[in-house]
Amino acid sequence: MIPGAESHGVNVDIDRQEVERLLSVTPADVEAADELTFARNVFVPLTTACRYTCTYCTYYDPPGQASLLSAEEVRDICRTGAEAGCTEALFTFGDDPDERYTAIHRQLEAWGYDSIHEYLRAVSEIALEEGLLPHANPGDQTREQMSQVADVNASMGVMLETTADVRAHAGPRSKSPGQRLATIRTAGELGVPFTTGILVGIGEDWRDRAESLLAIRELHERHGHVQEVIVQPVVENERWDSGSPDLATMRRATAMARAALPPEVSVQSPPNLAPVPELLDCGVDDLGGVSPVTDDHINPEHAWPAVDRLREIAAEAGVPLSERLPVYERYLDDGWCSDRIETAIETDTDAGKRFRAVLDDGQ
């Protein structure tokens, strides 16, 4: 039984035979993708306050020090991004920050917002005004929270991390695999195109990796909403000195993801954290969001490569590289996005033209 699954009311049936099949998968068993995609984004670290204290994470700040970007700051970042040709505003920040930090709650109140989700809605609107498509990853969300922002986001996401009960998530406030699965399921129920993934090297074993991927597959089979699964290595930083997975581990984990997931679900490898050229034959077909203008605030010591470097990587592998939007095209074609997002893409503005040029690039 997956920890927390019962208390969050999620029921995923992991097929034991499938676990055994995945445990025997090697990179030689999967095919290299015949094309690679990426998105151009700006990273907007809305707040560094977080209810959790994952031991691998340097992003969160203790209460008292945490900060909140103002609407003007968000607008500046988005404007710079749009001018640099980006299409995506990536809102990734601490989990339920207003729950534990009174200072954040008070600041939101002073600006006229009841909750971080009300504020997320407002800043998503700012991103749209500035010509970017929002993709928010606020961590775990309830159905009420997600409903509050779904129509102003092109897609959303949360990393499952792992279905295992690992020490990295231990402590009085910790991520619960069941709650992560409930968030992914809620996205499916609300029809939100979704990004998730596994974090490799946080104390999970091979069986846990297989189970995590199968849990994602099952939720996708029910709802069809998972656009991509990130296979992310944990990287060392001042809080995490327990190492990073080696190349052989990343190759096998990436191949396992490819073998576990149906072909329409992309396998994403982050080019600032993983040795992408050595993973391409393991089934990677997407390089995620890279930013020409902002840092990866979660892993600030790992700069994103320039788009030219991605072109080199693709050329060396002999596959075409194309830019995509934060929402995969099949969801647009099948009417998953709100009128708001569709209008942003179809309108006759500079932003609309930029979005449509990216869609044409993917043809």
Ligand X SMILES: O=c1nc2n(C[C@H](O)[C@H](O)[C@H](O)CO)c3cc(O)ccc3cc-2c(=O)[nH]1
Ligand Y SMILES: C[C@H]1O[C@@H](n2cnc3c(N)ncnc32)[C@H](O)[C@@H]1O
Contact positions vs ligand Y (CB under 6 A):
56-57, 92, 137, 159, 161, 199, 232, 234-235, 237, 240, 273, 298-299
Closer to ligand X by CB, 54 or 90: give it. 90
Binder of residue 289, out of ligand SF4, ligand Y, ligand X, none (CB less than 5 to 8 A by kind): ligand X
Please give the Cα distance from 108 to 184 (Å, whole number): 27
Binder of residue 38, out of ligand MET, ligand X, ligand Y, none (CB less than 5 to 8 A by kind): none
Identify residue 44 by its one-letter amino acid code: V
Residue 7 CA to chain centroid, in angstroms? 25
Helices (H), the chain: 16-23, 71-83, 97-100, 102-110, 116-129, 143-149, 177-190, 206-223, 247-260, 307-317, 329-333, 339-346, 350-361
Residue 57 assigned ligand-binding role: yes
Residue 202 binds ligand SF4 (CB under 6 A): no
Closer to ligand Y by CB, 161 or 323: give it. 161
Residue 54 assigned ligand-binding role: yes
Helices 339-346 and 350-361, interaxial angle, to 10°?
A: 90
Closer to ligand MET by CB, 66 or 332: give it. 66
Query: x/- string (CB under 6 A) for ligand SF4, residues 71-110?
Result: -----------------------xx---------------
Identify residue 163 by its one-letter amino acid code: T
Length of the chain: 363
Q: Give the nearest distance from C-beta 350 to ligand SF4 in angstroms.
A: 34
Q: Give the nearest distance from C-beta 244 to ligand SF4 in angstroms.
A: 16
Residue 50 assigned ligand-binding role: yes
Q: Give the nearest distance from C-beta 10 to ligand SF4 in angstroms.
A: 19
Helices 116-129 and 102-110, interaxial angle, to 10°?
A: 50
Please give the Cα distance from 153 to 337 (Å, whole number): 8
Residue 50 binds ligand SF4 (CB under 6 A): yes
Q: Give the nearest distance from C-beta 137 to ligand SF4 in angstroms.
A: 9
User: Which uninterrupted H or E stretch holds 194?
Assistant: strand 194-200
Tokens 């700012």 sit on residue: 126
Which of 18, 53, 61, 67 is close enough to bind ligand SF4 by CB under 6 A? Answer: 53
Please give the Cα distance from 323 to 331 (Å, whole number): 16
Please give the Cα distance from 71 to 300 (Å, whole number): 23
Q: Give the nearest distance from C-beta 17 to ligand X in angstroms.
A: 30
Binding residues for [4Fe-4S] cluster: 50, 54, 57
Binding site for ligand SF4 (CB under 6 A): 50, 52-54, 57, 59-60, 94-95, 139
- Sequence ranges of the binding site: 50, 54, 57
